[in-house]
Structure 1
Amino acid sequence: MDFVRYEDYTPVERPGYQQELDEVVSNVARRTRESVQRQDVGRAVRTAHGKTYGLVKATVTVGEVSAPYAQGIFATPATYDAVVRYSNGLGHLRADSLLGAACGMGIKMFGVPGTSLLTDEAEATTFDLNLINNTVFFANTAYDYMVIEELFAELPDALVNPARRKSWMGEFLTRRGTLASADEWLWDELFAMLSFTQVQRRNLLSYTYNSMGAFRYGDHIAKIRTVPLSPVTHLEVDVRADGEAFRNTLVAEAGERDHAFELQVQLNTDLGRMPVDNTSLEWPEQLSPWVTVARIDVPRQDIGGEDNLTAADGTSITPWRTREDHRPIGEIQRVREEVYRRSSIERHRINNQPRQEPASSAELL
């Protein structure tokens, strides 16, 4: 199988990108400040992944990996201390019945060698992975994100309100009327957004979580996912009976048994059919299989205290807290670099939280 070389990918450089990015970052910073009043909990809340479900201690083990998958931090066997943060994808703090089922799995590894791509913390030994329980994303450019982020803030209300649903989808599809031709409309992005409504509410430990965006993978290009290895006792999440069902199910499951996941990589074989700059299209598995490069072990533990939620809320996860061999690529990935950084700076400042990367899971838990 022939894998695309990283050097053969040419980033798309659009005129106006920097101006659009500056506006996106400004809007996110403003919405972060406004969240203090909007969410009414006495602190700033993330504009996405606002509701945290818990933080668990974990271990990431890299075994013997065959070429060409032995790249970057997965090139040699190693064991890393880690934590995993689970959260809801929306930026609201509500009962689970009033939120969707799009949930995130953020992995932070400690003691990873090399220089971080985040220039303001280049010496930090942490390495993050941002994953979500869907295979596709709904924005691909800075301009898309600038418009869609405002619409995203209306979810899930807009899609369950018959009076708003049709106009909301029209605004999304046409980028609020800025795309005149149907050939330009955001069909892939709209279908990607609607695919999130098909995600079933289940135990957070039972999902497969995906990076959606692409990364450099040493000499190649890849996407990343986690696949659960352990069956769960509490599969169903009844949000009608329990407004904190995701959290309570996670606490119960984590307290009863160990859990494990495979960390897998899909290498790109065709930039045409496996596009880097369109995260709204899933990479066909028949073009390139998923291959396991590491194992994540989550030992049985008690995460039921409020201190766990406090630690989870203060934990920053960004795809750019990584190494050069795993650089995020594609325009929406570049957007995330400054959006995540600025959001974290604003949130920690408002909440009087120290913005400093921990050196181990023990510092957090």
Structure 2
Amino acid sequence: MPSTQWREVFLPDESTQHAEQVHVFSELQRKRLKKHGHGRALHRNQVAALEAALVVEENLPDYARQGIFAAPSVFEAQVRLSNGNFSADRAPDIRGFAIKVLGASTPSSADVEQNFTLVSQETLKVSGSADVVGIVDLSTSAPGAALRKAVSKPQLTCGAVTNLRDMVKPFSGFATHDFFSIMPITFGDYAARVKLCAASTKTNKEARKDLAADIYGRLADADLEFLFQAQFFEDESRTPIEDSSVRWDAPWLTVARLHVPRQAPDEALAETVEKSSFNPWIAATEHRPLGELMRARQAAYSLSWRNRVVTP
């Protein structure tokens, strides 16, 4: 049985640290604004926008019947698929699979919007938000500046290289790859990481050349259905709350299915999704993000959103 004895670790004066860190993302966003116009600091390259439905499973165990998963239901959803950077589809990258569940209901409230932001890696080999910010700053700097930073902070270079090894692993496409939350969220009194299982095992060798063509090509022929799973906290040694570098040692439980019906590219939907915010902190009270890394993301997402909506 999962445990409710999980604990978060709060760093001394971390709110000040997080407020300072967001300036790295703000500067990155400002630079990209000049060249590409308004948009996100990261995961700016939208590959596809999709209509979907989140179908909550029946007969879930008591510990899983929390928040929007409290009862069998079908909720409207929107999906945003993205590349992390502006690189070509075939380039190494962290891919994003963001889900916005609309009009959900929970035991505590109705008409809830629940966002899940998942990526193509199960773990992120960093010790906290300071490492993430440093790696982003290093990887997006001009060559000369990057070299100087690499010399002065060799641990960041090591971290960047380690995570790059995960990024260069083959990505077969959004329909045939698993996606993960990396960090946990609450499930009522419990805590869990979440995962979206690939909808198909049939890979397309041409997918990496054009990821949008691959997903829409599949949806021209048939619906896609992804398993939405949760992996629950059991103890700090096997399922650490704060350590994003550890693959949890606990079983996965299917709590819902993400049903993506047959559809063609829709410009109006694409514009709506592009203008929308996909933020893990837009969540039911039963599903708030956990961990220092996620608290740092809260500050970064808020500033990114403000920068996107302000007119130059």
Same fold (TM over 0.5): yes
Matched, 1:128 2:122: no
Superposition pairs of residues 1-365 of structure 1, within 5 angstroms: 2-5=1-4, 8-37=5-34, 40-41=35-36, 43-64=37-58, 65-90=60-85, 92=86, 94-97=87-90, 99-113=91-105, 125-153=112-140, 174-175=155-156, 191-198=162-169, 200-232=170-202, 234=204, 236-239=206-209, 245-284=210-249, 288-303=250-265, 305-350=266-311
**What CA deviation, in whole Å up to 9, does each residue of 1:136-195 have, x standing for no partner?**
1244423223322202425xx98xxxx99998877675247xxxxxxxxx76x8534421
Cα distance, 1:234–1:324 mapped onto 2, change above 3 Å: same
- Secondary structure, counterpart of 2:220 in structure 1: helix
Partner Cα distance (1:131, 1:308) in 2: 20
The amino acid of 1:74's aligned partner reads: F
- Structure 1 residue 349: Cα displacement: 2.0
Cα distance, 1:238–1:230 mapped onto 2, change above 3 Å: closer
The amino acid of 1:335's aligned partner reads: A
- TM-score, normalised with respect to structure 1: 0.76
- Structure 1 residue 129: Cα displacement: 0.3
Cα distance, 1:246–1:330 mapped onto 2, change above 3 Å: same
- Structure 1 residue 31: Cα displacement: 2.2
Partner Cα distance (2:26, 2:110) in 1: 26
Partner Cα distance (2:232, 2:290) in 1: 14
CA contact (8 A) 1:138 1:190 kept: no
Partner Cα distance (2:211, 2:124) in 1: 22
Partner Cα distance (1:209, 1:172) in 2: 31
**What CA deviation, in whole Å up to 9, does each residue of 1:198-222 have, x standing for no partner?**
2x13221111110001111112111
CA contact (8 A) 2:231 2:251 kept: yes
CA contact (8 A) 1:4 1:271 kept: no
Partner Cα distance (2:288, 2:119) in 1: 18
Partner Cα distance (1:31, 1:165) in 2: 14
Cα distance, 1:23–1:164 mapped onto 2, change above 3 Å: closer
- Secondary structure, counterpart of 1:206 in structure 2: coil
C-alpha RMSD over aligned residues: 2.9
Partner Cα distance (2:74, 2:286) in 1: 18
Partner Cα distance (2:137, 2:15) in 1: 19
Partner Cα distance (2:107, 2:23) in 1: 28
- Secondary structure, counterpart of 2:17 in structure 1: helix
Structure 1 gap segments, 5+ residues each = 117-121, 177-185, 240-244, 352-365
- TM-score, normalised with respect to structure 2: 0.88
- Amino-acid identity (%): 23
Structure 2 gap segments, 5+ residues each = none
- Secondary structure, counterpart of 2:175 in structure 1: helix
Q: Which residue of the partner structure matches residue 359 of structure 1?
A: none
Cα distance, 1:124–1:151 mapped onto 2, change above 3 Å: farther
Cα distance, 1:325–1:166 mapped onto 2, change above 3 Å: same
Which sits farther off after the overlay, 314-323 or 228-237? 228-237
Partner Cα distance (1:197, 1:166) in 2: 22
CA contact (8 A) 2:207 2:213 kept: no
- Secondary structure, counterpart of 1:110 in structure 2: strand
CA contact (8 A) 2:127 2:244 kept: yes
The amino acid of 2:272's aligned partner reads: A
- Secondary structure, counterpart of 2:44 in structure 1: coil
CA contact (8 A) 1:136 1:192 kept: no
